[in-house]
Amino acid sequence: MDNILSILRNEGVPALAYPADDVSILQPYSLRILLSDAQFMLSLEHSILVPGLDDKQTFTLRYEGDNIMPGKGSLGNVGDSLPHGSLDIIARHKQPQPRMLSLTLKSPCSVWYPHNLGNRVSSLDTCFHKLLTLAKATEIRILFDSKWATKQNLARLQGVVKGSRRLTGLPVLPQFARLYQQADWSILNSILDAKSKPPIIAPPPIENAVNDAPPPYAHVPSKRSRNTRSSLTPDSPLPKRLLLDAAARSPSPTDDAKSTISSTSTVEVDLFQDLVAAAVEKLLPDMLRAQLPSILQDVLPEMLACPSSPSSWSSQRANTSPQQHHDHKPLTTTTTLAHTIKQVISTHTKLHIRSLLTKTLDHAGELQDRASNEIDDRLDEARTSFAALKEDHMFEVNELCNEKLVEFREHLAEEKDRVEEAFEGHAEEVLCRTWDGLDAVKRAVCCSCAKDKEKSEEWGQYGRRARSLPL
């Protein structure tokens, strides 16, 4: 199996994404890029506050390698004009180095959202529809700070994006699939159409909506009446009460004429029906628990009732019709039936308890696995965060060292200039003193030479006088 390399940080880096033809859809995401020799996967995560839930829910767009057109992408400088302050969102440090990643897809990407979101998708805000618009686009632009990646990883990413080699996607991890589910694009398209297109036909009036709506639960009888006939023979006519109820439930032709629009063809009604089904699923067990004692009180006394004496039993048998003889059982049969019912109830109770225990153990195992996976993920995130923190601190230390080195060099240059100036001044002073000394020596030498010359001239005069005297 190929080694999977994370081009950026494992927990994702801030990025901006939008369709190639609409910059107004631009919004922040968390970008992750995984790469190997034959596999590629890029994901964009965005958290949205969902009505009815306390925490933000994360939606993930997955771009697999086999869905990317080979040779159609690029990784370069930013070419589009972006809103003011956009680069501050993706910057790792004060001066970001933004890079634009352009991808061309074969089909829209896959959308993943949490399992606990249910049918709340249609009630989300504008950010969700921006996300769906981006997910539906086949040409996208992703802006991120290249300082989050090394030069080698950027070179690998550029080779994959611009290359013509066909890649495959990465399989979805089991722990990710347990928390998230892939959305159906037919539902997403219906939501986009319902939010973007105005309604062509006006909604029906309130009277028709009341006729189309399902009956409220308050009209359902909570307890069966003792006087209600349990069965009807084929020859007996229907009771008047049943005929009245059937007539009341059947809509009149005028009501059918009023209801001209079927609300079941819209997405909102489908979601409403899902909500009704979920409510019924939730309330039905409690209603059964509440009604079961009264049902047993009605049914069991009739089934388990024993006659007071054998004579009454024989007289009762004599007064009953053959059909009633067939319905009533002897005393031993009734006792056996009661014992059988108790055994069946006991067996079902044991099976139900065993099923609950099995489900509880399975749920506990799932919780343990989920907690273990969360601990592993948090440990990985902590390691990655510490590594990123180390890189950030190393970067800050390098910047501080560079600043101190620049200050030291400037100070050294200033000291050099000062020393040179002082040395030049001292040298000039020494040179001046030397010249003054040389001038003094020169003057002294000149004086002694003048005196010697005068003496030589006097001796010359004496010699001439001596030669001129007669002997």
The residue ranges of every structural domain in the chain are 5-196, 262-305
Burial of 352 (C-beta count, 10 Å sphere; 0-12/13-18/19+): exposed
The pLDDT score that the predictor gives to residue 106 is: 92
pLDDT-wise least confident of 313-322, 390-399, 401-410: 313-322
pLDDT-wise least confident of 40-54, 77-91, 138-152, 237-251: 237-251
The pLDDT score that the predictor gives to residue 253 is: 45
Mean per-residue pLDDT for 190-213? 49
Residue 227 has pLDDT above 80, yes or no: no
Burial of 63 (C-beta count, 10 Å sphere; 0-12/13-18/19+): buried
Q: 269 and 263 in contact (C-beta within 8 Å)? A: yes
Q: 103 and 64 in contact (C-beta within 8 Å)? A: no
The pLDDT score that the predictor gives to residue 268 is: 55
Mean per-residue pLDDT for 34-38? 86
Q: Residue 219's closest CA among 256, 263, 249?
A: 249
Q: Per-residue pLDDT tens for 365-388?
A: 888 878 887 898 788 888 888 888
Rounded to 5°, angle at Cα 71 from 66 and 73: 85
Residue 247 has pLDDT above 70, yes or no: no
pTM for the whole structure:
0.44
Residue 201 has pLDDT above 80, yes or no: no
Q: How far apart are the C-alpha atoms of 395 and 402, rounded to whole Å?
A: 10
Phi, psi of 68 (to 5 degrees): -100, 135
Beta bridge partners, 30, equal: 14, 45
Phi, psi of 19 (to 5 degrees): -65, 155
Q: Are strands 74-76 and 98-104 parallel, antiparallel or unpaired?
A: antiparallel
Measured CA to CA in angstroms, residue 334 lies from 288, 307, 324, 341, 343 at distances of 26, 11, 15, 10, 14
Confidence of residue 242 (pLDDT cuts 50, 70, 90): very low
**H helices, E strands: number in the chain:** 12, 10
Tokens of 219: 């009209």
Mean per-residue pLDDT for 33-53? 88
Burial of 334 (C-beta count, 10 Å sphere; 0-12/13-18/19+): middle
Which one is predicted more confidently, 353 or 21? 21
Mean per-residue pLDDT for 403-419? 90
Which one is predicted more confidently, 110 or 335? 110
Q: How far apart are the C-alpha atoms of 431 and 446, rounded to whole Å?
A: 22
The pLDDT score that the predictor gives to residue 238 is: 43
Owner of token pair 């014992």: 339
Q: How far apart are the C-alpha atoms of 165 and 40, rounded to whole Å?
A: 11
Measured CA to CA in angstroms, residue 155 lies from 47, 55, 146, 151 at distances of 30, 38, 11, 6
Mean pLDDT of the chain: 73
The pLDDT score that the predictor gives to residue 127 is: 66
Owner of token pair 């001129």: 468
Sheet strands (E) in 39-179: 40-49, 56-64, 74-76, 98-104, 110-114, 139-145
Residue 314 has pLDDT above 70, yes or no: no
Mean per-residue pLDDT for 278-298? 68
Q: How many residues does the chain have?
A: 471
| DSSP H or E segment with residue 269 | helix 267-304
Which one is predicted more confidently, 333 or 172? 172
Q: Is 334 helix (H, G, I), strand (E, B) or coil?
A: helix
Confidence of residue 278 (pLDDT cuts 50, 70, 90): confident
CA pseudo-torsion sign 116, 122, 125, 130: positive
Q: 295 and 239 in contact (C-beta within 8 Å)? A: no
For residue 7, the 8-state DSSP code is S
Q: How far apart are the C-alpha atoms of 465 and 314, rounded to whole Å?
A: 207
Which one is predicted more confidently, 457 or 261? 457
Mean per-residue pLDDT for 193-201? 52
Residue 38 has pLDDT above 50, yes or no: yes
Q: Residue 182's closest CA among 124, 83, 101, 108?
A: 108
Tokens of 254: 């005028």
Q: What is the CA radius of gyration of the chain?
A: 49
Amino acid occupying residue 441: V
Tokens of 374: 């969360």
pLDDT-wise least confident of 145-159, 175-189, 201-215: 201-215
The pLDDT score that the predictor gives to residue 299 is: 55
Which one is predicted more confidently, 289 or 441? 441
The pLDDT score that the predictor gives to residue 470 is: 59
Q: Per-residue pLDDT tens for 420-462?
A: 888 888 888 898 989 888 888 888 888 878 777 777 777 766 6
Confidence of residue 210 (pLDDT cuts 50, 70, 90): very low
The pLDDT score that the predictor gives to residue 137 is: 92
Q: 232 and 238 in contact (C-beta within 8 Å)? A: yes
